[in-house]
Chains A and B, each alone.
Chain A
Amino acid sequence: MDLIDRYLHAVRSYLPRSMQDDVVGELAEDLRAQAAERGEALGRPLTDSELAAIVRPYGHPMLLAARYRPKQYLIGPTVYPFYIRILKLVLVAVVLVHAALAVAFAVMGEPLSRSLGALGNTPFAAVVAVGWLTAIFALADVFVPRLPFVESWDPLSLPAPAPGPVVSRVNTALELLATSAFLAWWLALPRAEWLAFGPADRFLTLGPAMDTAYLPVLVILLLSLLRLAAVLVRPYQTTFWRAARIALSAAGIVLIVSLLDAGGFVALQEGADSPQVAAIVPLLNRGMTIGLAIAAAMNAWEIVRDVARLATGRQQARVQV
């Protein structure tokens, strides 16, 4: 068996059975014709390296065989950029969720093995998430171009030009998700204080400041969700929605300041008379105060930025007119 036979044998192994004889027969003829021509010119049988020089331009047997197949891919160029973008977000989310679980287990006083287990599970969860995402996008690649609104797309249905800077839908969706999660937590909190204190809810309870804050926070959260949903549907930063964000941030600051005055976010459960636990309560309240002060400062910074953007937007609009 010479080098040409070995090459053909290798190509055959990469081809579907139905085309093996046909393709290999034709390749054999081409290679043999070249070898015969070269041998005639030299007046002797070819050496292995001379045969290799004839075979080499055909490329690796696997690549050559692949050229006989129709182009195949799982995720095509149309949806690929979205796939990569969502993939990155999903991987970050998987890592964050597992890290948060590990921290939560540690805070709740669970054995260290549970925290380590959560961290150790991250790669497996990531593989599963990538698998699902790939399957979903592979289906999207097949079905999205066939969707009625894509297939019979009408240029006249294009939306009017963006009335403001375009906002990333991915960022808005993530913000919406985080706010919804916080809202769910906030709604469940009065009935499940362990969500705030973990196993320490036997000694600790929500203080009077939380009663005062509960309804205003709920209203601010619902309005924020409304704003985010609207921006998700029409992802333009309009003056109205920017002003709405300023108003919500301002409401947040007013609320925080009034709570800082009221004080007492955490209190001791009735009947809990342990002096150690009693000593923790002022510390927790001070921690909450500091946290809220930072939140107020961040809100104030957001307001400054939004006001500045509103002002430059107006200026640009005047210049354009």
Chain B
Amino acid sequence: MHHTGNVEIGTAVGLENLKLELRRGLLTLAVLSRLQTEHYGYTLRKALAAGGLAIEEGTLYPLLRRLEGQGLLVSEWRDEERRPKRFYRLSPAGYTALARLREEWAALTAAMDRTLNADGPAARPALDK
């Protein structure tokens, strides 16, 4: 067996990076799904966290802005509880994208289930001498 020598992967930091990478694409789907109902940033973040998908504070707003730039979201500033808040919801293009991504997600999870089950539970291989 050949080890690539990337010492980071074995560390807690390396594992954290792998998890972040895995979650990055999923968060977009989760945000689109949640924004079928109108939210402003703070309540959206709480809703995602309540569903088990906590998102970093500094990540959500740039993501919302990017999705809006891609035409998948629309937003408007409105006063609520005497404070101006920016509310987001899906645009018509966002609904179409969400439907496609849902299908993709279903196909992916099915494929991943098959793959992970076929390969069996992760076991530590014998280390090279």
**CB within 8 Å of B: which residues of A?**
19, 22-23, 25-27, 29-30, 32-34, 57-59, 63-64, 67-68
Q: Across the two chains, which residue of chain B brings its CB closest to A60? A: B58
A68–B41 contact, CB under 8 A? no
Q: Give the complex CA separation of A23 and B41 in angstroms.
A: 11
Q: Across the two chains, which residue of chain B brings its CB closest to A54? A: B57
B65 interface contact, C-beta 8 A = yes
Q: What secondary structure prevails in chain B residues at the interface with A?
A: helix
B8 interface contact, C-beta 8 A = no
B51: min CB distance to chain A, Å: 19
Q: Give the complex CA separation of A59 and B61 in angstroms.
A: 13
**Would A30 and B57 be within 8 Å (CB), given that A25-B84, A25-B86 are in contact?**
yes
**Would A30 and B83 be within 8 Å (CB), given that A57-B56, A58-B57, A67-B62 are in contact?**
no
A-B contact pairs, 15 of them (CB 8 A): A22-B86, A26-B41, A26-B61, A27-B61, A29-B84, A29-B85, A30-B41, A30-B42, A30-B57, A32-B83, A33-B42, A57-B56, A63-B58, A68-B61, A68-B62
Interface bits B64-94 vs A (CB < 8 Å: 1, else 0): 0100000000000100000111100000000
Q: Across the two chains, which residue of chain B brings its CB closest to A69? A: B62
Interface bits B89-124 vs A (CB < 8 Å: 1, else 0): 000000000000000000000000000000000000
Q: Which 4 A-B pairs have the closest CB atoms?
A: A67-B62, A33-B42, A58-B58, A57-B57
B75: min CB distance to chain A, Å: 9
Which of B41, B56, B58, B65 lies in contact with A29, CB distance below 8 A?
Answer: B41
Q: What secondary structure prevails in chain A residues at the interface with B?
A: helix
**CB within 8 Å of A: which residues of B?**
40-42, 45, 56-59, 61-62, 65, 77, 83-86
Q: Across the two chains, which residue of chain B brings its CB closest to A61? A: B58
Which residues on A sit within 8 Å (CB–CB) of B86?
22, 25-26, 29
Q: Give the complex CA separation of A312 and B73 in angstroms.
A: 65
Q: Give the complex CA separation of A295 and B58 in angstroms.
A: 65
B100: min CB distance to chain A, Å: 23
Q: Across the two chains, which residue of chain B brings its CB closest to A27? A: B61
A245: min CB distance to chain B, Å: 33
Max chain B Cβ within 10 angstroms of own Cβ: one of A32, A58, A63: A58
Q: Across the two chains, which residue of chain A brings its CB closest to B86? A: A26
Which residues on A sit within 8 Å (CB–CB) of B57?
30, 57-58
Q: Give the complex CA separation of A59 and B57 in angstroms.
A: 9
A68–B83 contact, CB under 8 A? no
Which residues on A sit within 8 Å (CB–CB) of B58?
57-59, 63-64, 67
Q: Across the two chains, which residue of chain B brings its CB closest to A64? A: B58
Q: Across the two chains, which residue of chain A brings its CB closest to B80? A: A29
